[in-house]
């Protein structure tokens, strides 16, 4: 970031508007701000800090004090800053909350900001603050310690501890991801630990559901929370409970079968008693059922008489119907004869009118010819109108084609110009293709080298991992070997005890041969068995094998690393730096390639239009010829149409002289009247003859119908006499009088009677059959007790069954709880083992990454930052040793300090005069200033070299030079001039008179009773 122009208005001690144009320093980028105390020197730096960060440069000033005490409420306090970053220009304007002029009166103004970056304008303060912070990649605190070193805070960077430096370096060198990685490991370890603890709590909860009762082994495992033993004992307890449950179930089945048997006997005795009762009831209903049978037989005889009576009544009704229809037919015949007489008169009138039709039709033909002549004249008049419209359209088309001809000529000229540009583009493409070939060759070489650096860095990472594993394996092998040697010694001392444990009475001792063993050697409780000792030996061998494998891996990795170092001619420690440089070179090549490809694509797109452009030129020339021809044809067509119109007008005038009526409406009205009269005559003629034919047909039909009715009536009278005689004969046969219908029964009642008789017969048969079977079944019983005796037996059995069932249900409940607890405990026990293994892994990784006792409390991020820190110290010492005449140099503290706080980024001073190292806090004021200045400049150099998203082209120093002696001042100024030669803008606030003599560009600040003033001197 490099300031270009600073504008202050009513800001601090400056009453009016003050401007500082840094671009007018004539390439002299080292300047001095001088003036009396309180004049407003530091205010210049405050204004820059306020414009960028909405804060003052130091901690002693606040935003509420920015407005000048010399200004009035009619003045607005604001700061404008134009600055450059990465060859891009930016503008920002800020004004604090204040009272200022309004449209009518003084009003309170809120804080405002206007940040212009590119084509974007930001006016919201939080957004603008964040955008500027992201742009500069420095927070306000970091800006104060790297770019602007304010009065009173000059030594903070020098004397800050590891934690404070870590915050400063994190954003600069973009190690946030490492910190996030450390935090994620720590959080994952915490969550896994919580999962393990949760599994323990869940298992404890389910263990509380277990009731050991008389199982002492299970109770002991519960008390000790020995989950493995608890699961074994719980499985045994569940199996035992299931066996007891089965015994209870068998016993209950036996009781249930006995109860069911007694219940069946009670049912048999009760059913026999019920059958005897039903038999008595059926005997009582026998007489009533016989009466119902007689009633049904009488109904059948009466039904036969009903059919004869119905036949008699049917024939009588048929006779009456035929008599009525015969009379009606005779009346219809009389009416038809009268209608025929009237119809003959209508036929005569219709024939007279029909004779006049030929005359009327000839008149219609004459009228239609007149109508056609009139229509022909009207058509010609319409054609004249159409031709007149056509000549207008031809005129419009001619004008349109003329305008189109002009457009085509303009387009033809444009296409010719485009063809010339395409020809020039062909030459440019050939040049770009050569450039792309060269870029491709450079990219290939750079990519191959980048791949080798990637492989080298991967080998270095693998080596670090293997070294860590090697240390663990080495420690593990030593521990197992020592344990094995100790246990083997104990085992050898205990051999006598092992032999004595195998002695039996009457068997000779393997040592002394005696058959009597009064005092056998005792086994030591601390000694292991032979099998256990062999297991430790196997672990020792496995550990040694792992140790050997890791040793071989490290040797192989070292050989590969040396091979790459020889090929690349670089030491492994510098590999990341070289890789970063290659990456930057590759990015530059990629950008050039993208630009060339983009330019080539644009030119090729232009060349692709060549054929199309040529074709368009040919098409435009052809269309121009066609348009000229079309315009000529349109002029000729217009002349022809005008001539045709005159000819048709003459024909119309001649045809009008031969018309009779002259009006087509009069012709059409007369024509319609004649057509209507002809239609009515034809209709009446046809209707009279159709009516005559219809009446003659009806007359013949009525005569035939009367003859048929007379024949049917004669036959019907004979049938009625026969039906009457048959009915009277049946009355005599049955012996019933005319009131025989009293014996009839309705259909519903008849169905009920038949159903009741059938039900009765069925009940009698079923009762007889069931009574016989039940009597035999009761007689076959082995025991003969009363129903009451059987009921007493059932009650006794049910009481015993209930007692067993209570024990059964209680045991099932306990067993189910135990099974459920068993499943859950096993599941969580297995889950805990997995969680515990994963927790141990993440816990170790978290401690390693976040810093622990084993890593001297240096986190992974701080380890990486320490590498940058060492580079910063090296860069700082280049100036610090010069400024202190080679007496002092900065060192990264290597000595371990007490406590578990952040470490790895603390500073010490090495004094060449004493040959000893001491804290930077022991430096004098002047020495601290030089150390702080060297450190700030070293940090700036490293940032520039690594291009970590931060561009530091500016340094502002507020006081501190007054603490330097003459020699120190010379070396400090020499250092600043060296920065000036490299193009960096350096601003100094100081009262030291010697600086005024040494630095050519001055910003003199003077104070008056009306506010301070600024004057730039060069």
The model's pLDDT over 646-699, given as tens digits with 9 standing for 90+, comes to 888 887 777 777 777 667 777 778 878 888 888 888 788 788 888 888 877 887
What tokens were used for 959?
């006081």
Residue 640, strand partner residues? none
For residues 1000 and 1004, give the distance between their C-alpha atoms in angstroms, rounded to a whole number.
12
For residues 297 and 22, give the distance between their C-alpha atoms in angstroms, rounded to a whole number.
140
**Closest to 955 (Cα-Cα) out of 27, 170, 145:** 145
Higher pLDDT among residues 752 and 26, named by residue: 752
- pLDDT band at 906; cut points 50, 70, 90: confident
**Closest to 688 (Cα-Cα) out of 931, 448, 340:** 340
Please report the pLDDT score of residue 92 as a whole number. 96
For residues 877 and 934, give the distance between their C-alpha atoms in angstroms, rounded to a whole number.
7
Least confident segment among 70-79, 298-307, 388-397, 678-687: 298-307
Please report the pLDDT score of residue 19 as a whole number. 93
Least confident segment among 509-523, 536-550, 724-738, 822-836: 509-523
Quick check: 979 and 986 in contact, CB under 8 A?
A: yes
Quick check: 158 and 921 in contact, CB under 8 A?
A: no
Place of tokens 């976040």: 850
pLDDT tens string 408-456: 888 878 888 877 877 777 777 777 777 777 777 777 777 777 777 788 7
CB atoms within 10 A of CB 179: 19
Evaluate if residue 93 carries a pLDDT over 90. Answer: yes
Read off the pLDDT of each residue in 732-758 and give the average, rounded to a whole number: 76
Evaluate if residue 625 carries a pLDDT over 90. Answer: no
Break the chain down into helix, strand, coil percent, rounded to 5. 70, 10, 20
For residues 1003 and 39, give the distance between their C-alpha atoms in angstroms, rounded to a whole number.
12
Evaluate if residue 174 carries a pLDDT over 80. Answer: no
- Dihedral sign from CA coordinates of 687, 689, 695, 700: negative
Please report the pLDDT score of residue 1009 as a whole number. 83
Please report the pLDDT score of residue 9 as a whole number. 93
Q: Nearest 5°: CA angle at 683, between 680 and 684?
A: 85
Computed on alpha carbons and rounded to an integer, the radius of gyration of the chain in Å comes to 64
Q: Tell me the angle at which helices 162-173 and 176-207 cross, rounded to the nearest 10 degrees.
A: 110
Please report the pLDDT score of residue 116 as a whole number. 92
Residue 966 — φ and ψ, nearest 5°?
-65, -45
User: Residue 114 — left, alpha, or beta (φ > 0 → left; ψ -120 to 50 → alpha)?
Assistant: beta
CB atoms within 10 A of CB 541: 13
Evaluate if residue 469 carries a pLDDT over 70. Answer: yes
Which of 114-123, 147-156, 319-328, 442-451 has the highest average model confidence (pLDDT)? 114-123
For residues 496 and 486, give the distance between their C-alpha atoms in angstroms, rounded to a whole number.
18
CB atoms within 10 A of CB 992: 19
Quick check: 521 and 499 in contact, CB under 8 A?
A: yes
What tokens were used for 990?
């100081």
**Closest to 349 (Cα-Cα) out of 623, 722, 684, 117:** 684
Q: In what order do the strands lie in the sheet with 985-989?
A: 148-149, 954-958, 985-989, 30-34, 1001-1008, 1011-1017
Q: Which helix (H) or strand (E) holds 954?
A: strand 954-958
What tokens were used for 715?
């036959």
First to last CA, the chain: 23
SS3 state at 1002:
strand
The size of the chain, in residues, is 1018
Which alpha helices (DSSP H) does 208-285 contain, by range?
Answer: 216-224, 227-284
For residues 265 and 781, give the distance between their C-alpha atoms in angstroms, rounded to a whole number.
8
Read off the pLDDT of each residue in 157-167 and give the average, rounded to a whole number: 77
Mean pLDDT of the chain: 80
Any residues with CB less than 8 A from the CB of 439 and at least 6 apart, and which? 589, 592, 593, 596
What tokens were used for 148?
């602007």
Residue 954, strand partner residues? 985
Evaluate if residue 121 carries a pLDDT over 80. Answer: yes
Give percent of the chain with pLDDT exceeding 70.
89
pLDDT tens string 638-658: 888 888 888 888 877 777 777
Evaluate if residue 948 carries a pLDDT over 70. Answer: no
Count how many Cα atoms sit within 13 Å of the Cα of residue 83 in the half-sphere of its side chain: 24
- pLDDT band at 283; cut points 50, 70, 90: confident
For residues 111 and 957, give the distance between their C-alpha atoms in angstroms, rounded to a whole number.
28
Evaluate if residue 1001 carries a pLDDT over 60. Answer: yes
**Closest to 905 (Cα-Cα) out of 882, 949, 953, 939:** 939
How far lies 533's CA from each of 339, 540, 831, in Å?
145, 11, 31
Any residues with CB less than 8 A from the CB of 87 and at least 6 apart, and which? none
SS3 state at 139:
coil
Place of tokens 């059926």: 282
Q: DSSP string of 120-175?
A: EEE--HHHHHHHHHHHHT--HHHHHHHTEE-TT-TTHHHH--HHHHHHHHHHHHT-
Classify residue 872 as exposed, middle or buried by CB count within 10 Å of its CB (0-12, 13-18, 19+). buried
Strand 2-11 relative to strand 954-958, pairing: unpaired
Please report the pLDDT score of residue 511 as a whole number. 44
Q: DSSP string of 455-500?
A: HHHHHHHHHHHHHHHHHHHHHHHHHHHHHHHHHHHHHHHTHHHHHH
Residue 71 — φ and ψ, nearest 5°?
-80, 160
DSSP category for residue 64? G
Classify residue 87 as exposed, middle or buried by CB count within 10 Å of its CB (0-12, 13-18, 19+). exposed
SS3 state at 349:
helix
Quick check: 113 and 93 in contact, CB under 8 A?
A: yes
Please report, to the nearest 10 degrees, the dihedral formed by the alpha carbons of residues 870, 871, 872, 878 taken in order.
110
Least confident segment among 228-242, 825-839, 898-912: 898-912
Distance from CA of residue 788 to its chain's centroid? Answer: 77
**Closest to 302 (Cα-Cα) out of 757, 730, 723:** 730
For residues 225 and 232, give the distance between their C-alpha atoms in angstroms, rounded to a whole number.
13
Whole-structure pTM value: 0.39
For residues 65 and 67, give the distance between their C-alpha atoms in angstroms, rounded to a whole number.
6
Any residues with CB less than 8 A from the CB of 155 and at least 6 apart, and which? 928, 929, 932
Count how many Cα atoms sit within 13 Å of the Cα of residue 474 in the half-sphere of its side chain: 8
For residues 30 and 417, give the distance between their C-alpha atoms in angstroms, rounded to a whole number.
55
Residue 1006, strand partner residues? 1013
For residues 691 and 697, give the distance between their C-alpha atoms in angstroms, rounded to a whole number.
10
Residue 149 — φ and ψ, nearest 5°?
-95, 95
SS3 state at 687:
helix
Distance from CA of residue 877 to its chain's centroid? Answer: 55
- pLDDT band at 878; cut points 50, 70, 90: confident
For residues 116 and 884, give the distance between their C-alpha atoms in angstroms, rounded to a whole number.
44
Which of 77-81, 211-215, 585-589, 932-936 has the highest average model confidence (pLDDT)? 77-81
- pLDDT band at 18; cut points 50, 70, 90: very high
Please report the pLDDT score of residue 350 as a whole number. 78
pLDDT tens string 820-830: 888 888 888 88
For residues 991 and 961, give the distance between their C-alpha atoms in angstroms, rounded to a whole number.
8
How far lies 573's CA from each of 84, 568, 872, 903, in Å?
35, 13, 16, 22
**Closest to 30 (Cα-Cα) out of 994, 979, 936:** 979
Place of tokens 């246990």: 487
- pLDDT band at 303; cut points 50, 70, 90: confident
């Amino acid at each position: 970031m490099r300031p270009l122009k600073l504008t202050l208005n009513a800001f601090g001690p400056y009453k009016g508007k003050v401007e500082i144009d840094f671009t007018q320093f004539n390439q002299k980028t080292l300047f001095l701000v001088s003036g009396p105390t309180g004049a407003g020197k530091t205010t210049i730096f405050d204004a820059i800090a306020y414009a960028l960060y909405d804060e003052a440069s130091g901690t002693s000033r606040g935003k509420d004090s920015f407005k000048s005490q010399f200004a009035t409420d009619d003045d607005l306090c604001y700061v404008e800053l134009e600055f450059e970053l990465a060859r891009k220009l930016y503008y920002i304007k800020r004004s604090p909350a204040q009272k200022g002029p309004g449209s009518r009166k003084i009003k309170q103004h809120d804080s405002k900001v206007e940040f212009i970056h590119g084509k974007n304008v930001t006016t919201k303060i939080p957004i603008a603050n964040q955008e500027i912070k992201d742009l500069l990649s420095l927070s306000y605190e970091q800006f104060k310690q790297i770019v602007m070193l304010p009065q009173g805070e000059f030594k903070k960077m020098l004397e800050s501890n590891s934690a404070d430096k870590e915050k400063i370096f994190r954003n600069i060198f973009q190690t946030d991801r490492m910190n996030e990685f450390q935090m994620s490991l720590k959080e994952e370890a915490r969550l896994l630990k919580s999962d393990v603890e949760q599994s323990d709590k869940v298992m404890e909860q389910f263990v509380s559901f277990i009731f050991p009762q008389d199982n002492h082994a299970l109770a002991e495992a519960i008390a000790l929370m020995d989950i493995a033993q608890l699961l074994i004992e719980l499985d045994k307890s569940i199996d035992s409970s299931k066996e007891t449950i089965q015994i209870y179930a068998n016993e209950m089945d036996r009781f249930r079968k006995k109860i069911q048997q007694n219940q069946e006997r009670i049912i048999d005795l009760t059913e026999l008693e019920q059958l005897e009762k039903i038999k008595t009831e059926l005997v009582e209903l026998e007489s009533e059922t016989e009466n119902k049978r007689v009633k049904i037989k009488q109904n059948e005889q009466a039904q036969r008489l009903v059919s004869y009576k119905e036949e008699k009544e049917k024939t009588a009704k048929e006779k009456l119907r035929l008599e009525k229809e015969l009379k009606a037919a005779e009346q219809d015949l009389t009416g038809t004869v009268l209608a025929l007489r009237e119809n003959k008169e209508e036929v005569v009138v219709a024939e007279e009118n029909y004779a006049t039709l030929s005359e009327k039709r000839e008149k219609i033909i004459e009228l239609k010819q007149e109508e056609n002549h009139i229509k022909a004249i009207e058509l010609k008049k319409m054609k004249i109108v159409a031709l007149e419209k056509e000549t207008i359209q031809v005129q419009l088309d001619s004008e349109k084609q003329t305008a189109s001809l002009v457009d085509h000529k303009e387009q033809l000229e444009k296409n010719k110009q485009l063809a010339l540009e395409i020809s020039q583009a062909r030459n440019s493409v050939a040049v770009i293709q050569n450039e792309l070939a060269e870029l491709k060759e450079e990219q290939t070489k750079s990519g191959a080298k980048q791949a080798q650096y990637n492989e080298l860095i991967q080998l270095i990472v693998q080596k670090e991992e293997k070294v860590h594993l090697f240390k663990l394996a080495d420690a593990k092998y030593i521990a197992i070997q020592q344990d094995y040697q100790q246990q083997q010694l104990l085992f050898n001392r205990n051999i006598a005890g092992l032999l004595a444990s195998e002695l039996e009475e009457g068997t000779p001792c393997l040592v002394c041969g005696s058959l009597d063993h009064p005092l056998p050697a005792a086994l030591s409780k601390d000694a292991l068995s032979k099998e256990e000792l062999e297991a430790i030996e196997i672990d020792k061998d496995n550990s040694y094998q792992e140790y050997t494998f890791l040793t071989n891996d490290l040797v192989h990795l070292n050989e590969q690393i040396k091979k790459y170092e020889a090929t690349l001619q670089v030491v492994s420690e510098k590999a990341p730096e070289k890789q970063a440089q290659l990456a930057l070179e590759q990015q530059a090549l990629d950008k050039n390639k993208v630009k060339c490809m983009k330019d080539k694509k644009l030119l090729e797109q232009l060349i692709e239009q060549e054929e199309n452009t040529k074709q368009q030129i040919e098409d435009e020339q052809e269309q121009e010829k066609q348009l000229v021809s079309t315009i000529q044809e349109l002029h000729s067509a217009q002349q022809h149409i005008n001539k045709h119109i005159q000819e048709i007008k003459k024909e119309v005038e001649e045809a009008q002289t031969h018309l009779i009526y002259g009006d087509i409406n009069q012709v059409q009205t007369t024509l319609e009247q004649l057509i209507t009269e002809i239609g009515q005559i034809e209709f009446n003629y046809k209707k009279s003859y159709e009516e005559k034919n219809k009446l003659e047909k009806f007359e013949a039909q009525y005569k035939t119908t009367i003859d048929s009715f007379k024949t049917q009536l004669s036959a019907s009278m004979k049938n009625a006499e026969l039906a009457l005689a048959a009915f009277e004969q049946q009355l005599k046969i049955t012996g019933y009088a005319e009131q025989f219908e009293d014996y009839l029964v309705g259909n519903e009642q008849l169905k009920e009677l038949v159903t009741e008789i059938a039900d009765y017969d069925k009940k009698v048969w079923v009762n007889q059959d069931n009574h016989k079977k039940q009597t035999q079944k009761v007689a076959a019983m082995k025991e003969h007790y009363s129903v009451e005796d059987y009921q007493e037996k059932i009650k006794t059995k049910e009481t015993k069954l209930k007692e067993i069932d209570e024990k059964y249900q209680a045991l099932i409940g306990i067993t189910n709880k135990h099974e459920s607890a068993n499943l859950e405990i096993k599941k969580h026990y297995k889950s805990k083992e997995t969680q515990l293994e994963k927790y141990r892994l993440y816990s170790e990784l978290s401690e390693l990454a976040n810093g622990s006792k084993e890593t001297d409390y240096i986190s992974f991020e701080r380890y990486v930052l320490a590498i940058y820190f060492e580079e910063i110290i090296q860069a700082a010492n280049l100036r610090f040793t010069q400024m202190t005449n080679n007496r002092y140099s900065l060192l990264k503290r290597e000595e371990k300090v007490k406590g578990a706080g952040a470490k790895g980024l603390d500073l010490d001073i090495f004094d060449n005069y004493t040959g000893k190292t001491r804290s930077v806090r022991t430096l004098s004021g002047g020495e601290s200033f030089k150390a702080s200045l060297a450190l700030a400049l070293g940090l700036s150099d490293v940032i520039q070299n690594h291009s970590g998203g931060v561009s530091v082209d500016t340094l502002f120093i507020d006081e501190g030079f007054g603490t330097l002696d003459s020699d120190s001042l010379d070396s400090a100024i020499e250092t600043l001039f060296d920065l000036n030669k490299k193009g960096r803008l350096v601003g100094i606030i100081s009262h030291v008179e010697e600086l005024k003599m040494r630095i050519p560009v001055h910003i003199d600040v003077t104070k008056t009773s009306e506010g301070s003033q600024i004057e730039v001197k060069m």
